[in-house]
Structure 1
Amino acid sequence: MDIYAVSTHPVVVGDKLSFHLHPARAQDLIECTINWQQDNKPRSAQYMAFKAINKTAEDGGATPPFIVPVFVQKDPHYAQLIASATPGPDGTLEFPITEDWQYGQRFETGAGRFVVFHDNSNEPGQDRFMDTPFTQLLTLLHGAASIAGQAETADKVDAIARAQFNRPLLSYSVLPTVRNGDILRVNAQAAARSTVVVTWLQESSRRTEKYYQVMATNISLNNQQVKFFVQEDWWGVNLLNIAVNQGNNHFDFMVNGQFQYGQANDSGTDRWVVYHDRARQPYQHRFVPSIIFNLVEMFSHMPPLSDILAINATNPEVVTDLAAVLFGRPLLTFD
């Protein structure tokens, strides 16, 4: 399946997808075998893979149509899907995305999202269905390590990394910690905050700025706790000016396009928020450490691998700067 002919519009619950039961191109509806490890045992299952059009996004004026890769376990889920689908124009079938589906995505913005309908006791990772930046990173590092004569070590690390850190499929029934439109409550007392120094490379210059970090309460979502970073000189007037409500020791504000966020996984279950001048461009890992960057740093310090990657291993800043250019995740904006 062409992984580049995918939608920039994230497929969400309620979206209606359409596909041809007998497509003109055979490769647009194929049967494939998905293999994975589960409970230290090899597992496999047959899936039907096809391309669908997101009719909900199309109805919103999308041009060209948003294409969504779909994977459905052959037995019995594919027959169930066909039986419950609604006939559409030109011999197509239409079906809605419900919380029974799972999904994966190539980018945390939701771009390149694909959907999976199967027995939820199956636990293949996202990379079993489509290539991801994580698997691309592992392939690159494994190849460099092998060239540097570290193939045996690279094999072991690669196996551990894929087993421990590969991204699982995500559930539509799980909500992010904070979403656009949510109300966050922040303790206004100085004792509730700590100072974080954030350093990053921007336009070939190293920048260092201070942020306040506090724990905010998402009163829109079961009072979940959310890490909240505020540009130091914006803590006072700037933050108060956007507050929708003020109490004696707290203020509330609505999450919107003025705020950015990062997250350790695509489900958003540990999403955190940044309020700052958006001309600043630090990567997510500058606020919260990332597994993928820990992996890069570990590989980059393996001599003579550091020479192969042209890294000066005596300067940690060179390592993190190179990793950021190749694999850094920018902060995302609520919309």
Structure 2
Amino acid sequence: MPGPVESGHELLVDLFDGDALGAPITVKWQQNFVARQSTYYRVDAYNTATDETVPFFIAAEYYKSSTSSNPNHISKVGTLLPGEGYKLKVNDKLQYGQKNAEGENRFIVFHDKERKPYQHRFIETAVLSALAKSGEEAAGKVLTGFGLSGAASAVVDTVKAYVGDYLHTF
């Protein structure tokens, strides 16, 4: 089994395709006693170092074509591979969540690092969004992408290992 994504690896992220991606997910959290929320797209990024895909959350304003003037847009920090997507080097611009210190079920987040949601918010939101949109089978596939198993309707139980942990920076 390949190891988790590490600093220095390169990820390939597909070009933005709003039709294929559908609506972004909304991640909600509390920060400094204020309710916050932001929209993200959840995609599968290809890790060239491990020959595996990894769940990748990217802030909508860093991904949508209409926001390409943003200085942190993927087109400004990644290398465009025409017809394929963007090659993005894993560095301190990215954060990650994981199940344990060994890096199991690691997923990547590319957003404004001033945002401080707990890592379980991404998993919960992605699975519940898939469950609402496409049903148990699609939500189960999202769970599998995180290396988790079981009924998607029991998502709260599957993310207990993530509760209370902030994202980590590479």
TM-score interval, smaller chain = 0.5 to 0.7
The question of whether the paired residues in 1 share the 8 Å contact of 2:25 and 2:42 is answered with: yes
CA RMSD of aligned residues (A): 2.5
- 2:74 counterpart SS class: helix
Structure with max Cα Rg: 1
Q: Structure 1 residue 175: deviation in Å?
A: 4.8
> Is 1:331 matched up with 2:167?
yes
Q: Would you say the 8 A contact 1:263–1:270 is kept in 2?
A: yes
User: Percent identity at matched positions?
Assistant: 31
Does residue 262 of structure 1 match 2:97?
Answer: yes
Q: 2:44 aligns with which of 206, 210, 215?
A: 215
Measured after TM superposition, the shift of residue 264 of structure 1 is: 2.2
Residues in 1 aligned to 2:97 and 2:123: alpha-carbon distance in whole angstroms: 8
1:270 is paired with a residue of what secondary structure?
coil
Shift of 1:209: 1.1
**Conserved 8 A contact 1:176-1:271:** no
The AA in structure 2 aligned to 1:330 is Y
Alignment of 1:1-335 (within 5 A): 175-190=2-17, 191-194=19-22, 195-221=24-50, 223-235=51-63, 236=65, 237=68, 238-289=73-124, 294=156, 328-334=164-170
Distance in 2 separating the partners of 1:227 and 1:187: 12
* Distance (whole Å) between structure 1 residues aligned to residue 9 and residue 20 of structure 2: 21
Task: For 1:329 and 1:178, locate their aligned partners in 2 and report how far apart those are by CA, in whole Å.
Answer: 18
Q: Secondary structure of 1:287's partner?
A: helix
Q: Which has the higher contact order (CA 8 A, sep 6+)?
A: 2
Shift of 1:205: 0.8
Equivalents in 2 of 1:225, 1:192: separation in Å?
18
**Deviation at residue 246 of structure 1 after TM alignment:** 2.0
Secondary structure at 1:280's aligned position in 2?
A: coil
Unaligned ranges ≥5, structure 2? 125-145, 149-154
Query: How many residues get paired?
Result: 130
Letter in 2 for 1:234: Y
Q: 1:271 is aligned with what amino acid?
A: R
Moved over 6 A (4+): none
CA distance in 2 between partners of 1:328 and 1:209 (Å): 19
CA distance in 2, matches of 1:262, 1:248: 29
Cα offset, 1:192, TM superposition: 4.4
Deviations 1:232-269 (A, max 9, x none): 11114311111134222311110100000001233223
- TM-score, reference length from structure 1: 0.36
* Cα distance between partner residues in 2 of 1:189 and 1:242: 15
Counterpart amino acid of residue 6 in structure 2 = R
